[in-house]
Structure 1
Amino acid sequence: MPCTCAEWRRWIRPLVLVLYALLLVAVVPLCVWELQKDKVGTHSKAWFIAGVFVFLTIPISLWGILQHMVHYTQPELQKPIIRILWMVPIYSLDSWLALRYPSLAIYVDTCRECYEAYVIYNFLVFLLNFLSNQYPSLVLMLEVQQQQPHLPPLCCCPPWPMGEVLLFRCKLGVLQYTVVRPVTTVIAICQLCGVYDEANFSFRNAWSYLVIVNNISQLFAMYCLVLLYKALRDELTPIRPVGKCKCLKSVFCCSFDKCV
């Protein structure tokens, strides 16, 4: 009986393993041959070592994604998880390419950072979907709870009303970062025009303004996540969101690379 699209769950994992093995067979000898050339510098050796870790990382992350796709039993929870897991291969390939081609680093890093904002938004979607599944009357449950004051340095501001207003504002606060981050793709345009001047703290260049806008937007998005967790700490305990959030931020920080 011919294999149909409906049976993809049976052959998708063996196919990925075979393709990955073929890729290794082609890429590893090429990299070794590159290293054997005369006058191989430290930069090329570092690129090769980084490539080894990249080709160890990608199959692990892809296997986790495939496991969710094959056992797709809770779509509302697994869909944002799959989107978050794609962060690992995207970030590892970005860092590897930026190390090999430093002149292109600013462009591939811009794409990576846009995906960072998308990942943070999907993390919020994951939390809200879990809460909706576990507590169908989540809004009513929030409305009867005590008002949550703002965190420092916004503790002087009036608290957000509990219930639907709190959920909406937290979601909007994270969503704004997903919108603002791609806007900063003008980095590439500024770089081409010669007005970006990265790491120069001068308001005569575009870098200073873009850094300020991006950091304020990101801080507010994370603030909304913390405020939501503070209001629903007990309800979110089963999925341990603090540890998951730390893992996300660790990937963001540890993949920060600057090639000189």
Structure 2
Amino acid sequence: MCTSWLQSCCLQWRSWIRPLLILVYVLFVVIVVPLLIVNSVKDGFSRKDQLILIGGLFVLSAIPISIWQITQHVVHFTRPILQKHIIRILWMVPIYALNAWLSLLFPRHAIYMDSIRECYEAYVIYNFMKYLLNYLNLEMDLERTLEYKPPVRHFFPLCFVEPWPPGREFVHNCKHGILQYTVVRPITTFVA
């Protein structure tokens, strides 16, 4: 009896996940915001405390919007080839917000949090490229369509460079450049 109810509940997660997230967020706000205010007032409410409190309010407003969008994509997962990349891109907002706020709270550890953020940023850039290529290839064959287009001249200051012929090689070079960035960026972050 209990296991069948649990199974049916797990299979119908789309109906209860959003109310659960709202409840968790409300409980978090009701518990954490008063604790932050009490802690700030108890210690004398310095300039740093004001920054942490204001930053925390913005984090508390940014994260639920992003989590709601992520949840909407998960619940209505109708185009997985596109939505998986959108979800990964949307996670950038909570990561940036928490990184900035935690850096205010723990300035000595900010460099480590920034390193994690930089690695995820490179991953998001890769996912954005994959999203664009998947989106453009859904309606048409991008490389074949580009092959029929005339080369476009570069704008200043690169106007002296020969125009690149669009097509398979152009798309490959764009992918190659982005993939190089997504590898080089985390390496330079850890070296620095």
Match of 1:104 in 2: 109
Alignment counterpart, residue 180 of structure 1, candidates 159, 168, 184: 184
Q: Distance in 2 between matches of 1:169 and 1:34?
A: 53
The alignment-based identity, stated in percent, is 51
Structure 1 residues 153 and 117 mapped into 2: Cα distance closer, same or farther (>3 Å)? farther
Residue range with higher mean Cα deviation, 13-22 or 90-99: 13-22
TM-score computed with the length of structure 1 as normaliser: 0.67
Q: Deviations over 1:145-200 (max 9, x none)?
A: 1013344444433433321111111111112111111102324xx5xxxxxxxxxx
Amino acid of the structure 2 residue aligned with 1:81: I
Alignment counterpart, residue 89 of structure 2, candidates 71, 84, 88: 84
Amino acid of the structure 2 residue aligned with 1:47: I
Structure 1 residues 107 and 151 mapped into 2: Cα distance closer, same or farther (>3 Å)? farther
1:228-239 counterparts in 2 under 5 A? none
Q: Distance in 2 between matches of 1:105 and 1:153?
A: 38
Q: Is 1:167 aligned with 2:171?
A: yes
Q: Is 1:10 aligned with 2:15?
A: yes
Q: Is 1:95 aligned with 2:104?
A: no
Alignment counterpart, residue 57 of structure 1, candidates 47, 57, 62: 62
Q: 2:153 aligns to what SS in structure 1? A: coil
1:176-215 counterparts in 2 under 5 A? 176-187=180-191
Alignment counterpart, residue 38 of structure 2, candidates 27, 33, 39: 33
Alignment counterpart, residue 157 of structure 1, candidates 154, 158, 161: 161
Match of 2:150 in 1: 146
Match of 2:133 in 1: 128
Specify every segment of 5 or more residues in structure 2 that has no aligned partner in the other structure, as ranges: none
Deviation at 1:19, TM superposition (A): 1.5
Q: Distance in 1 between matches of 2:131 and 2:55?
A: 32
Q: Distance in 2 between matches of 1:6 and 1:51?
A: 35
Q: Distance in 2 between matches of 1:38 and 1:142?
A: 63
Amino acid of the structure 2 residue aligned with 1:74: R
Specify every segment of 5 or more residues in structure 1 that has no aligned partner in the other structure, as ranges: 191-260
Structure 1 residues 5 and 164 mapped into 2: Cα distance closer, same or farther (>3 Å)? farther
Q: Distance in 1 between matches of 2:168 and 2:151?
A: 13
TM-score computed with the length of structure 2 as normaliser: 0.88
Deviation at 1:87, TM superposition (A): 0.7
Question: Deviation above 6 Å: which 4+ runs of structure 1?
Answer: none
Q: 2:163 aligns to what SS in structure 1? A: coil
Q: Distance in 2 between matches of 1:184 and 1:96?
A: 24
Structure 1 residues 151 and 126 mapped into 2: Cα distance closer, same or farther (>3 Å)? farther
Match of 1:113 in 2: 118
Q: How many residues align?
A: 187
Q: Distance in 2 between matches of 1:7 and 1:156?
A: 60
Q: Deviations over 1:208-231 (max 9, x none)?
A: xxxxxxxxxxxxxxxxxxxxxxxx
Q: Which structure has more helix as a fraction of its residues?
A: 2
